[in-house]
């Protein structure tokens, strides 16, 4: 058998790059085997270093909502590149995207562009602390908000996948200022505010948890959070890095009707290039330098190529029927997979919201960290590899959400369901 180029590249990479990857969850460590090294993407498909083709359900972890290499996105980036790769000075394009973002997400009265979701959430926390003069923040177990110190406490995504939800290197003194509660547990949230209300600067939440697989919020959970933050003068930060322009055009806040004080965005708004943002109430945003005392900066913030890719993508998602199509595809996928598993007696379920979905080797969709970590991860790992072999690429972890794009077709989805059906038929 010919040597896999994925294997060759992985072995070489491990000599130079810790774990052979530049972001841990890419390493396939929890699912086992060799990570795929991608060469090319087009529409809903990607090709690995061995030229094997896959239907892609990762979409660069969310940004590729219009598929890979959408001609309008590629052209916008090429046009921007021809004008200059970066200036470290304001451009009119930054005003254009700020105008669009504040129009599409009306709770954002002002917005600041950054380059990654981690920067957006890290700064939103600092801003909330600077605005309230308080230090404590509340997050929820299994929610992942990037890898800044205050937020890498009982986190999801790669941190959970590799069993280090609270990272080494985060000073205990800092971690002590992060109170971690259970997702969807209203009583615990109420009690914490009753006990510590005056200390709480902010609550930060993934409005649909997408970094411990996919967990839907209970409506009363988001409502209680809003009410308690208002009552106690804490800042509600809704982290829409994953859900923004993914769950609906107005993100999860539009979908569920919640009004955050601050919102963080990333992924889709950069169209695949490094652009992210945070924004919200004007009185809070005015505390940011150079207007106010809370500092934040970035040489690459508002980079013209990233802004161009983001603008082109945000133009595409505003087309009529865009989200209805994504939702239809995601439902077709999750319903098809669930029906097949049921037919073959496999304990499995799946659900979706907008263009994101979760698959679970459990009888019902989990609603908490405890439930999701009780699902059968060995079964997931086996399924993941069998699906990859059959040409469908899922996220390489039982604790990540999946994504569809407008480039996926019903035929793509049906091919994936047919592959799963064969796998479930042989499942013991």
Residues that bind ligand HOZ (CB under 6 A): 23, 25-26, 61, 157, 211, 400
The catalytic residue among 144, 183, 255, 323 is 144
Of 20, 17, 19, 81, residue with least CA distance to 49 = 20
Looking at the Cβ atoms of 161 and 340, the one nearer to ligand HOZ is 161
Return the closest-CA partner of residue 372 out of 343, 346, 395, 400.
Answer: 400
* Closer CB to ligand HOZ, 26 or 70, in the complex: 26
Residue 41 makes CB contacts below 8 A (sequence gap 6+) with 47, 56, 64, 67, 68, 69
With respect to ligand HOZ, which residue has the nearer C-beta, 135 or 373? 373
Q: Which of 273/288 has CB closer to ligand HOZ?
A: 273
If the CB atoms of residues 30 and 107 are measured against ligand HOZ, the closer one turns out to be: 30
CA distance 423 to 417: 10
Distance in Å, CB of 155 to ligand HOZ, minimum: 10
> In the complex, what is the shortest distance from the CB of residue 281 to ligand HOZ, in angstroms, rounded to a whole number?
27
Query: Which residue in the list 57, 154, 267, 360 is annotated as catalytic?
Result: 267
- Taking CB atoms, the residue at the shortest distance from ligand HOZ is 23
Sheet of strand 356-360, all strands in order from the earlier edge strand to the far edge: 349-353, 356-360, 402-403
* Rounded least distance, CB 130 to ligand HOZ, Å: 26
SS3 325: helix
Q: Which residues contact 179 (CB under 8 A, 6 or more apart)?
A: 136, 137, 138, 139, 192, 196, 200
Is position 144 annotated as part of the catalytic site?
Answer: yes
Residues paired with residue 262 on neighbouring β-strands, in sequence order: 237, 280
Instruction: Compute the least distance from the CB of residue 418 to ligand HOZ, in Å.
Output: 28
Residue of 185, 239, 261, 412 marked active site: 239
Beta bridge partners of 110: 280
Residue 23 Cβ vs ligand HOZ, minimum distance, rounded to whole Å: 3
**Residue 267 bears catalytic tag:** yes
Q: Report the alpha-carbon distance of residue 159 to residue 137 in Å, rounded.
A: 19
Nearest to 68 by CA among 313, 392, 415: 313
Contacts of 89 (CB under 8 A, 6+ apart): none
Q: Which residues are catalytic?
A: 144, 239, 267
């Amino acid at each position: 058998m010919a040597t896999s180029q994925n294997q060759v590249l992985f072995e070489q990479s491990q000599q130079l790059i810790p774990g052979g990857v530049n972001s841990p969850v890419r390493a396939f460590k929890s699912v086992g085997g060799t990570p795929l090294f991608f060469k090319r993407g087009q529409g809903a498909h990607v090709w690995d270093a061995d030229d094997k083709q896959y239907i892609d359900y990762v979409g660069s972890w969310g940004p590729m909502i219009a598929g890979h290499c959408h001609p309008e996105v590629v052209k916008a980036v090429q046009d921007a590149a021809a004008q200059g790769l970066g200036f470290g000075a304001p451009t009119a394009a930054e005003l254009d995207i700020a105008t669009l973002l504040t129009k599409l997400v009306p709770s954002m009265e002002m917005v600041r562009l950054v380059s990654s979701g981690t920067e957006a959430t890290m700064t939103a926390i600092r801003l909330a602390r600077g605005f309230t003069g308080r230090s404590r923040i509340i997050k929820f177990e299994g929610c992942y908000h990037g890898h800044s110190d205050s937020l890498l406490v009982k986190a999801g995504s790669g941190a959970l996948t590799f069993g280090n939800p609270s990272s080494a290197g985060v000073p205990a003194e800092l971690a002590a200022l992060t109170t971690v509660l259970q997702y969807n547990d209203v009583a615990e949230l109420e009690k914490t505010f009753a006990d510590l209300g005056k200390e709480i600067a902010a609550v930060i939440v993934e409005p649909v948890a997408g970094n411990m697989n996919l967990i839907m919020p209970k409506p009363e959970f988001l409502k209680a959070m809003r009410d308690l933050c208002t009552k106690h003068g804490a800042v509600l930060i809704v982290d829409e890095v994953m859900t923004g322009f993914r769950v609906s055009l107005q993100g999860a806040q539009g979908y569920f009707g919640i009004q955050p004080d601050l919102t963080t965005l990333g992924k889709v708004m950069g169209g695949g290039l490094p652009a992210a943002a945070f924004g919200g109430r004007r009185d809070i945003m005015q505390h940011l330098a150079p207007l106010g005392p809370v500092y934040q900066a970035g040489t690459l913030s508002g980079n013209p190529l990233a802004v161009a890719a983001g603008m082109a993508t945000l133009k595409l998602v505003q087309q009529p029927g865009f989200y209805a199509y994504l939702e239809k595809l995601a439902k077709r996928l999750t319903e098809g997979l669930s029906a097949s598993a049921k037919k073959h007696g496999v304990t499995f379920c799946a659900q979706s919201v907008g263009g994101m979905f979760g698959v679970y080797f459990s009888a019902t969709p989990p609603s908490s960290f405890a439930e999701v970590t009780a699902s059968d991860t060995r079964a997931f790992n086996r399924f993941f590899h069998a699906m990859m072999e059959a040409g469908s690429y899922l996220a390489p972890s039982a604790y990540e959400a999946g994504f569809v794009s407008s480039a996926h077709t019903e035929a793509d989805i049906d091919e994936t369901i047919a592959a799963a059906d064969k796998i479930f038929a042989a499942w013991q």
